[in-house]
Amino acid sequence: MPSDRAGADPGTAPHEPPDRGDSARTDAVTLSGVPGSSGRPRSAAIGPLDPRRPPETLTDRDIAALAFIGRAQEAAQYQLHEAVFPGLGEAVVSRRIRKLAARGFLAIERWNKVGINRLRLRPAGLDAVVSRKGARADELFLLRAPLAQSAVAHHLWVVDCRLIVDRLPVPPTSAQPCWVLERRWNPRPAAIPDLLAIWRPTRENPGRFLALEIDTGTEAIRRTLIPRLVALADTLVPFAGTAPAFISVLTKGPRRVTAIQQAVGSAAIALPVVVDALPPSAGRPAFAGLQALLTVGAKSPSHPR
């Protein structure tokens, strides 16, 4: 029977936990080295998913990737893979590209839903490259919008060829695509090659000039292509001087090769013009064929020896 005598122990109040001794007093959970519930200091490090985590530092390879895209105006992911990430898996490259895009350094466009990512530099990417001295600002190109769909195939072939010339047994001293030449040549000449490769003369070699034209079969041969080849030769002759120089036309299919050869034969062009067919497959599968076509001294009957 409960007692209400003065001084009697009223018992534990319903809202108060029983006293468990000193161990209960050290059970508070705090940060920064104060003992926690486990008795060990809790780390104050910011986890990988913590929104307070600072941005990841750009690696040298990130800068090289952004510089490659900027120099190319627009590049396909497979081209970036070959140029900057050789030997790495596709998933590794895709993951890196997505991270750079998420941070606003580049833009990604899908080309006709065929599995090709088109990449172009954004202002933040240009600033990052220049600040890290990956390239000069005048070497890089910023496109406000993706290239027109009608221009993409031609542009990819030009970037492919620019990649391949660096892999030739004797790579050129300089190889510049048309968009770089357009920026540098002032006043602009009547015709500019899609790619101009120059081998400087040495004691053993007089040097060489190769003007490359990519013909995707959309232009009239005698009305458009041949006049451009005439103007291109007239532009290059003063540059080449006494060094050997020629124009290489890569086109689609053997029938168009024959048609262009016949038109060239009846035109007054100041430089030799050789015509070959583009590889039947585009992208990476075309690289071996392009290298054979672009190798100086290749054993193709249409190439000068």
pTM of the model: 0.79
Domain layout of the chain by residue ranges: 57-146, 148-305
For residues 79 and 205, the model is more confident at 79
Q: What percent of the chain has pLDDT over 70?
A: 78
Q: What is the DSSP string of 253-302?
A: SHHHHHHHHHHHHTS--SS-EEEEEPPSS-SGGGHHHHHHHHSTT-S-TT
Which span out of 31-40, 101-110, 238-247 was modeled with the highest average pLDDT?
Answer: 101-110
Question: Residue 271 pLDDT more than 50?
Answer: yes
Question: Residue 82 pLDDT more than 70?
Answer: yes
169 contacts: CB under 8 Å, gap ≥ 6: 295, 296
**Residue 40 pLDDT grade (very low, low, confident, very high; cuts 50, 70, 90):** low
Question: Residue 132 pLDDT more than 50?
Answer: yes
Which span out of 113-127, 212-226, 236-250, 289-303 was modeled with the highest average pLDDT?
Answer: 212-226
- What is the pLDDT of the chain when averaged over all its residues? 85
Judged by average pLDDT, the poorest of 130-139, 207-216, 234-243, 252-261 is: 234-243
Question: Residue 196 pLDDT more than 50?
Answer: yes
In angstroms, the CA 55 to CA 103 distance is 9
pLDDT at 269: 96
**Residue 89 pLDDT grade (very low, low, confident, very high; cuts 50, 70, 90):** very high
pLDDT at 2: 47
Long-range contacts of 189-195 (CB under 8 A, 24+ apart): 189/231, 189/235, 190/231, 190/234, 190/235, 191/228, 191/229, 191/231, 191/232, 191/234, 191/235, 192/232, 192/235, 193/232, 193/236, 193/247, 194/154, 194/158, 194/161, 195/158, 195/161, 195/162, 195/165
- Classify each residue of 127-152 as buried b or exposed e, where b means 16 or more C-beta atoms within 10 Å of its C-beta: ebbbeeebbeeeebbeeeebbeeeeb
Q: Note the CATH architecture for domain 57-146.
A: Orthogonal Bundle (1.10)
- Tokens representing 132 are 């890290």
Residue 153 burial by Cβ neighbours in a 10 Å radius (0-12, 13-18, 19+)? middle
pLDDT at 193: 97
pLDDT at 242: 85
Q: Note the CATH architecture for domain 148-305.
A: 3-Layer(aba) Sandwich (3.40)
Cis-peptide into 187, omega within 30 deg: yes
- Tokens representing 53 are 């985590």
Mean pLDDT to the nearest integer, 259-282: 95
